């Protein structure tokens, strides 16, 4: 079936080109890209179905490198079906899932379970990650070879930090044996007491802290091991300026590392914790305004390659507690574009860098095609409405969770249409 | 006492001629072992002490048989029953032994360099039967002997060694010996088993078994130590067998008639499938037989020079 | 081991004398072989060449070839550890059952008798022969053990400092001869 989308301003983030035109695809692969003004359709052959983008922006679809769909084990928060619906609504066609579920993904059985659940939901390409250690015990290797054959795309210990550096080295070497990259989060737990950035604000609030140095130490360790083992390493969810400096230096030296930042760390700073509202309790902590600005610069200059959602749905009763006892994390996957647009409108981030960080960067890390709007590329696309003013209300969200600090807030811009291999997986009504 | 002491501590220092003379002698001693009376009186004036601090049944028995076939007297010294367990140092134990005047000490020890330590401090001929992860020279000699016997030569052979290379003294000694004799060595194992600088030893290093076996004349499988399984070097037997174990399918990549070797003891179904361990290409049992012959040759070479002047 | 210089060399037997000595041995050997149940064992390396010469003469006489073995006695020597030479172990091959057979042991030169003593020990490790007879091409005297040959090709009186060497065409040389050397001490 051939389809053509018209009335769109096409943004190709890899090249930075922007032009009004159309994109036609057949059997999920783009067969033609051309110029056409608003209201024009170009030369259309018979039998081609036309879709209107209503004057909105057309970009490659989003790819997430770090999200929690909570299944198996925590289905009361989210499951792969609801997570997929939320992701498609967020403009995503590919989502890499954290493997630290219960049971965790440490063998071919759980890998197959995740893949089947994703296929059944049929809305996004669910990409499983595999655990590094068996049962997340932090000291024995998981059956990585089997998982590689079963279809994991990367290895990760989720949000856990591997205390035994020697074991992490072995994991990286062994994972590299099967050409699997490693996604590592970065906080040395022996240096922290809580999840609030240690700084002027925490001195006022008295909340338990996590200093930047805990992340810096972890990042340094991971960079050194990546240099030694030459394993492809991704430093996930960077939150501090100090880490950015280390990563920039490592890349300049040719160490095989990439990095990401979670969307909330680009939006919030540590002043958000002053109200003691657990909805703002996230990890990595929102750090100082200076850190936030440097993170934005790092996205623009490419030191940080990707922006991840770090989608972390939690049950309401787990959030409606005192700050110290409340669950950590916020859902985010449906809100990534509205939040990015907020930064673009405030001129803190340019549109091309923003889109590139959720389309080109993640695809490059995973080695998957797309991210470019051109003939022969997969028809993985998203239509972004940059103008509509709207309010986030409780029932908007497709996720099972409701834990976002932005409930009740007004946004400008949201996703309009998500196209996965030529098939529409999300359409905004109204 | 002795006019000149030789030792066999490792293969790094040995020349091609020295290795060849061990192999040639091995042939003669293999002949002795095939006679009705499997004994020659040559070393009947020699006492051989088997000093096995690290446990081993097969190597110890092999040396014991070899010594007895040379008519030497043997004395066995095991770790647990020894004074070492009571805290006596290696040196004191060795000196106590020396008071009983052994001529040759065959030592196996956990610590790399223990035989060298003895050689410096104790006036006996020392044979290294395995020191930690460093060397196992008689194993490499019997492996090369087996290869030469079947393939007619060692120079130019393509030899693949597969397994826990980093911790293997068998691998190290074979690498040194084979390279001295002009063979080409490929090593393979999961990356966690491959130490980073092994390519400086002049071998090709692979992290998959297939490229290493392709076109090989000899496929040598190393034993996976079960203690290492399920820990931080390797996840499980099953995964090892699937990706790095030798089976009929993978053996097809080697040259037809390639030798299948293993220093023993076998973990059937892990590093090698039972059908391949017993197949026509397998020379594993011959390695054991050749081990006695080579050890007789080594005892002869070292022992013939030891003389008591009246 | 430092090589020593040859001080003097004299030929004590030429080709004809060697052939005569072989014929002298051949008589008793061929009757023994013809009686049957007899084998010939040559001692490495000189005895092997002499044995080969005897075998070709037996063949020329039309006598069927008896079982033949070669014996290296290095591992049975009593002087292996004394002396400066590196003893080379050579091939031993007795490809038949020795027990019950009459053995004709062959060597090139009989001297102190120690080689033959070692050869006897080696032979009985292979089986229990019915009898052992010793044939030597040259007896140079100076026995240290009570050992004598049954059949001798030629006697050559020598002194201890001398060395006797039998050269045969079987060794790749141009002609047969026996030479006596004196080396510096």
Could you report the per-residue pLDDT of A94-150, keeping only the tens digit for each? 999 999 999 999 999 999 999 999 999 999 999 999 999 999 999 999 999 999 999
Inter-chain residue contact B42 with C80, CB threshold 8 Å:
yes
Question: With 90 as the cut, is the pLDDT of residue A430 above it?
Answer: no
Asked if the C-beta of B191 comes within 8 angstroms of chain A's C-beta atoms, the answer is yes
**Cβ–Cβ of C125/B300 closer than 8 Å?**
no
> Looking at the predicted structure, is the pLDDT value of residue B80 above 70?
no
Backbone Cα Rg of chain B: 19
Domain assignment present for residue C178? The answer is no
> Distance (Å) from the C-alpha of residue A210 to the closest C-alpha of chain B?
30
Q: What is the pLDDT of residue A40?
A: 86
* Facing B42 at nearest CB: one of C75, C82, C93: C75
Rounded to an integer, the average pLDDT of A332-347 is 97
Q: Is C28 on the interface with B (CB under 8 A)?
A: no
Are B304 and C92 a contacting pair at CB < 8 A?
no
- Dump pLDDT digits (tens) for A73-84: 999 999 999 999
Distance CA A110, CA A129 (A): 10
Alpha-carbon torsion, ordered A302, A13, A68, A218, to 10 deg? -10
Count of domains forming chain C: 1
Confidence band, pLDDT 50/70/90 cuts, at residue C85: low
CA A72 to CA A104: how far, in whole Å? 8
Flag whether A touches C (3+ CB pairs, 8 A cutoff). Answer: no
Q: Write the pLDDT tens digit of every residue in A176-191.
A: 999 999 999 999 999 9
Q: Which residues contact C111 (CB under 8 A, 6 or more apart)?
A: C140, C141, C142, C143, C164
Say if A162 is an interface residue toward chain B (CB within 8 Å). no
B243 interface with A at CB cutoff 8 Å: yes
Partners of residue A174 in chain B, C-beta under 8 Å: 190-192, 234
**Between chain C and chain B, are at least 3 CB pairs below 8 A?**
yes
**Residue A174 near chain B (CB below 8 Å):** yes
Is B210 an 8 Å CB contact of chain A? Answer: no
CB distance from B234 to chain A under 8 Å?
yes
Chain B nearest-CA residue for A134: B235
Which among B232, B233, B243 has CB closest to A145? B243
3-class state of residue C81 by DSSP: coil
Q: Give, in order, the Cα–Cα distances in Å from A29 to each of A15, A47, A277, A355.
A: 20, 17, 46, 21
Tell whether A224 lies on the interface with B, counting CB pairs under 8 A.
no
Report how far residue A92's alpha carbon sits from residue A125's, in angstroms, rounded to the nearest whole number.
9
**Confidence band for C86, pLDDT divided at 50, 70 and 90:** low
Q: What are phi and psi of A330, to 5 degrees?
A: -135, 150
Do the chains contact at B300 and C75, CB–CB below 8 Å? yes
pLDDT (average), residues C91-95 = 93
Are A143 and B239 within 8 A, CB to CB? yes
Give the integer Cα–Cα distance in Å for B255 and B293: 28
Asked whether B and A share 3 or more beta-carbon pairs under 8 angstroms, the answer is yes
Q: Report the residue of B28, B45, B302 to disrupt the C interface, i.e. the one with the largest count of C CBs within 10 Å.
A: B28
The catalytic site residues of A sit at 310
Which of these CATH numbers, 3.20.20.300, 2.30.40.10, 3.30.70.2470, 1.50.10.10, describes A2-59+376-391+411-427?
2.30.40.10
- Give the pLDDT score at B122: 85
A109 lies within 8 A of chain B by CB? no
Quick one: closest CA in B to A138, which residue? B232
pLDDT band at C3 (very low <50, low <70, confident <90, very high): low
Position B88 scores a pLDDT of: 72
Q: Does B28 touch chain C (CB under 8 A)?
A: yes
- HSE-up of residue C8 (Cα within 13 Å, Cβ side): 6
Q: Is the pLDDT of residue A414 over 90?
A: yes
Q: What is the DSSP string of C121-177?
A: HHHHHH---SEEEEEEEEE----SSS---SEEEEE----TTEEEEEE-GGGT-SS-E
Confidence check: pLDDT of A411 > 70: yes
Q: Is the pLDDT of residue A355 over 70?
A: yes
- The verdict on a CB contact (< 8 Å) between A144 and B236 is no
Residues 134-153 (A) with a CB less than 8 A from some CB of B: 134, 139-146
pLDDT digits (tens, 9 = 90+) for B16-73: 999 999 999 999 999 999 888 899 999 998 999 999 988 888 999 999 999 999 999 9
Does C92 contact B39 at a Cβ distance shorter than 8 Å? no
Query: Is the pLDDT assigned to residue B156 strictly greater than 50?
Result: yes
Beta carbons within 8 Å of A406's beta carbon, 6+ residues apart: A335, A339, A392
Q: Domain residues for C75?
A: 19-157
Name the residue among C123, C111, C121, C90 with its Cα closest to residue C157: C111
For residue A348, what pLDDT is reported?
A: 97
Any residues with CB less than 8 A from the CB of A3 and at least 6 apart, and which? Answer: A24, A25, A26, A48, A49, A50, A51, A422
At residue B308, does pLDDT exceed 50?
no
Q: Tell if the CB–CB gap between B236 and A143 is shorter than 8 Å.
A: yes
Mean pLDDT score of chain C, rounded to an integer? 91
Q: What percent of chain A has pLDDT over 90?
A: 90
Residues of B in contact with C121 (CB under 8 A): 41
In whole angstroms, what is the distance from residue A149 CA to residue A145 CA? 6
CA distance B130 to chain A (A): 26
Residue of A nearest to B228 (CA): A140
> What is the DSSP track for chain B?
--S----B--STT--HHHHHHHHHHHHHHHHHHTSSS---STTTT-EEEEEESS--SHHHHHHHHHHHHTT-EEEEEESTTSTTTTT--HHHHHHHHHTT--SEEEEEESSTTHHHHHHHHSSSEEEEEEETTTB-HHHHHHHHHHHHHHHS--TT-EEEEES-GGG-HHHHHHHHHHHHTT-EEEEE--GGGS-TTGGGGT-EEESSHHHHHTT-SEEEEPPPPGGGBTTTSB--HHHHHHHHSB-HHHHTTSPTT-EEE--S---BTTTB-HHHHTSTTB-HHHHHHHHHHHHHHHHHHHHTT-----
Of the given ranges (A43-57, A170-184, A344-358, A411-425), which has the lowest mean pLDDT?
Answer: A43-57
CATH 3.20.20.140 is right for the domain spanning A61-366: yes
* Model pLDDT for residues A198-210, shown as the tens digit of each residue: 999 998 888 899 9
Give the residue from chain B lying closest to C80, CA to CA. B304
Q: What is the rounded average pLDDT for all residues in chain B?
A: 89
CB-based contact C138:C109 (threshold 8 Å): yes
Query: Does the pLDDT at position B92 exceed 90?
Result: no
Q: What is the mean pLDDT of residues A237-250?
A: 98
Copy the structure tokens of residue B299: 């005892």
- pLDDT value for B2: 37
* C43 sits in which H/E element: strand C38-43
Cis? peptide before A284, omega within 30° of 0: yes
Query: Is B199 within 8 Å of chain A by CB?
Result: no
- How do beta strands C6-13 and C177-183 pair? antiparallel
Q: Answer yes or no: do B239 and A144 touch at CB < 8 A.
A: yes
> Which CATH number applies to B137-288?
3.40.50.1370
CA geometry: angle B231, B237, B238, nearest 5 deg: 125
CA–CA gap between residue C108 and residue C5 (Å, rounded): 24
**Residue A99 distance to chain B (closest CA, Å):** 17
CATH placement of domain B16-135+290-303: 3.40.50.1370
CATH 3.40.50.1370 intervals, chain B = 16-135+290-303, 137-288
Residue C87: list chain B partners with CB under 8 A: 304
Is C1 within the bounds of a domain? no
Q: What's the whole-model pTM score?
A: 0.82
CB pairs under 8 A between A and B: 52
pLDDT digit string, tens, across residues C42-68: 999 999 999 999 999 999 999 999 999
The backbone torsions φ and ψ at residue A368, rounded to the nearest 5 degrees and listed phi first, read: -105, 155
SS3 C78: coil
Q: Taking 50 as the threshold, does the pLDDT of residue B310 lie above it? A: no
- In this complex, the residue of A142, A176, A228 whose CB is nearest that of residue B235 is A142
Q: Tokens 């089947």 belong to which residue?
A: A116
C92 in B contact zone (CB under 8 Å): yes
Going from N- to C-terminal start, the domains of chain A cover 2-59+376-391+411-427, 61-366
Sheet holding B73-78, edge to edge: B73-78, B47-52, B104-109, B125-131
Closest CA to A56 of A94, A8, A5: A8
User: How many percent of chain B have pLDDT more than 70?
Assistant: 93
Judged by CB atoms closer than 8 Å, whether chains meet at C81 and B42 is answered as no
Give pLDDT tens digits for A282-331: 999 999 999 999 999 999 999 999 999 999 999 998 998 889 889 999 99
Q: pLDDT tens-digit profile of C156-165?
A: 999 998 999 9
């Amino acid at each position: 079936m051939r389809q053509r989308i018209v009335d769109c301003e096409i943004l190709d983030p890899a090249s930075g080109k922007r032009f009004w035109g159309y994109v036609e695809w057949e059997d999920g692969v783009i067969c033609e890209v051309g110029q056409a003004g608003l209201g024009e359709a170009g030369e259309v052959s018979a039998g081609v179905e036309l879709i209107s983008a209503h004057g909105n922006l057309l970009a490659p679809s989003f790819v997430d490198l770090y999200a929690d769909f909570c299944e198996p084990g925590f289905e009361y928060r989210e499951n792969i079906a609801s997570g997929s619906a939320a992701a498609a609504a967020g403009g995503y066609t590919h989502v890499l899932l954290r493997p630290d579920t219960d049971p965790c993904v440490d063998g071919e059985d759980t890998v197959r379970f995740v893949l089947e659940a994703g296929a059944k939901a049929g809305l996004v390409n669910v990409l499983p990650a595999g655990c590094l250690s068996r049962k997340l015990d932090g000291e024995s290797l998981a059956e990585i070879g089997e998982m590689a054959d079963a279809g994991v795309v990367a290895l990760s210990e989720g949000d856990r930090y591997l205390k035994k550096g020697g074991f992490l080295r072995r994991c990286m070497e062994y994972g590299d044996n099967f050409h699997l990259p490693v996604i590592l989060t970065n906080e040395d737990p022996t240096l922290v007491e809580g999840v609030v950035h240690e700084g002027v604000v925490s001195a006022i609030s008295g909340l338990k802290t996590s200093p930047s140095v805990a992340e810096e130490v972890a990042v340094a360790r991971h960079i050194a091991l990546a240099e030694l083992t030459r394993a492809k390493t991704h430093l996930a969810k960077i939150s501090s300026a100090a880490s950015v400096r280390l990563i920039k230096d490592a890349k300049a030296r040719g160490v095989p590392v990439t990095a990401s930042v979670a969307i909330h760390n680009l939006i919030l700073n540590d002043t958000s914790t002053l109200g003691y509202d657990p909805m703002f309790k996230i990890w990595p902590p929102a750090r100082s305004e200076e850190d936030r600005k440097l993170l934005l610069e790092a996205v623009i200059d490419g030191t940080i390659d990707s922006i991840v959602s770090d989608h972390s749905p939690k049950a309401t009763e787990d959030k409606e507690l005192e700050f110290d006892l409340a669950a950590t994390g916020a859902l985010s996957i449906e809100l990534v574009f509205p939040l990015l647009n907020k930064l673009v409108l405030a001129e803190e981030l340019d549109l091309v860098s923003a889109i590139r960080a959720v389309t080109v960067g993640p695809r490059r890390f995973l080695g998957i095609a797309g991210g470019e709007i051109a003939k022969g590329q997969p028809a993985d696309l998203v239509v972004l409405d940059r103008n509509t003013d709207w309010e986030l209300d409780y029932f908007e969200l497709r996720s099972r969770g409701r834990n976002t600090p932005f409930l009740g807030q007004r946004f400008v811009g949201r996703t309009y249409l998500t196209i996965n291999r030529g098939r529409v997986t999300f359409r905004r009504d109204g | 006492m002795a006019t000149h002491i030789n030792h066999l501590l490792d293969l790094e220092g040995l020349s091609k001629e020295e290795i060849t003379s061990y192999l040639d002698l091995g042939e003669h001693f293999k002949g002795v072992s095939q006679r009705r009376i499997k004994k020659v009186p040559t070393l009947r004036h020699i006492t051989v002490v088997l000093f096995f601090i690290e446990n081993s049944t097969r190597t110890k028995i092999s040396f014991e048989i070899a010594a007895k076939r040379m008519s030497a007297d043997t004395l066995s010294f095991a770790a647990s029953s020894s004074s070492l367990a009571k805290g006596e140092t290696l040196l004191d134990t060795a000196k106590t032994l020396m008071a009983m005047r052994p001529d040759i000490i065959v030592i196996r020890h956990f610590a790399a360099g223990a035989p060298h330590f003895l050689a410096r401090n104790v006036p006996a001929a020392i044979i290294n039967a395995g020191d930690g992860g460093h060397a196992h020279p008689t194993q490499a000699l019997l492996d090369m002997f087996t290869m030469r016997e079947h393939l007619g030569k060692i120079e130019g052979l393509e030899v693949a060694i597969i397994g826990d290379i980093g911790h293997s003294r068998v691998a190290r000694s074979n690498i040194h010996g084979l390279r001295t004799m002009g063979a080409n060595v490929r090593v393979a194992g999961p990356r966690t088993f491959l130490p980073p600088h092994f390519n400086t030893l002049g071998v090709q290093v692979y992290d998959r078994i297939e490229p290493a076996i392709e076109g090989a004349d000899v496929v040598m499988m190393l034993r996976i130590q079960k203690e290492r399984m399920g820990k931080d070097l390797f996840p499980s037997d099953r995964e090892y067998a699937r990706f790095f174990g030798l089976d009929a399918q993978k053996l097809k990549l080697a040259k037809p008639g390639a030798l299948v070797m293993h220093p023993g003891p076998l973990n059937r179904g892990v590093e090698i499938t039972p059908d391949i361990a017993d197949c026509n290409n397998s020379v594993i049992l011959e390695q054991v037989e050749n081990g006695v012959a080579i050890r007789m040759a080594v005892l002869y070479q070292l022992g013939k020079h030891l003389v008591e002047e009246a | 081991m430092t090589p020593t210089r040859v001080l003097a060399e004299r030929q004590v037997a030429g080709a004809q004398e060697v052939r005569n000595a072989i014929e002298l041995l051949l008589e008793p050997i061929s009757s023994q072989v013809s009686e049957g149940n007899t084998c010939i064992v040559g001692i490495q390396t000189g005895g092997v060449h002499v044995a080969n010469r005897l075998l070709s003469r037996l063949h020329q006489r039309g006598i069927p070839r008896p079982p033949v073995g070669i014996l290296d006695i290095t591992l049975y020597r009593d002087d292996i550890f004394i002396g400066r030479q590196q003893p080379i172990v050579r091939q031993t091959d007795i490809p038949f059952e020795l027990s019950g057979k009459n053995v004709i042991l062959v060597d090139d030169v009989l001297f102190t008798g120690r080689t033959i003593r070692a050869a006897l020990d080696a032979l009985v490790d292979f089986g229990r022969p019915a009898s052992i007879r010793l044939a030597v091409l040259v007896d140079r005297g100076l026995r240290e053990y009570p050992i004598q040959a049954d059949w001798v090709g030629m006697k050559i009186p020598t002194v201890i400092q001398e060395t006797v060497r039998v050269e045969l065409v079987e060794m790749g040389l141009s002609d047969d001869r026996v030479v006596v050397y004196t080396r510096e001490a």
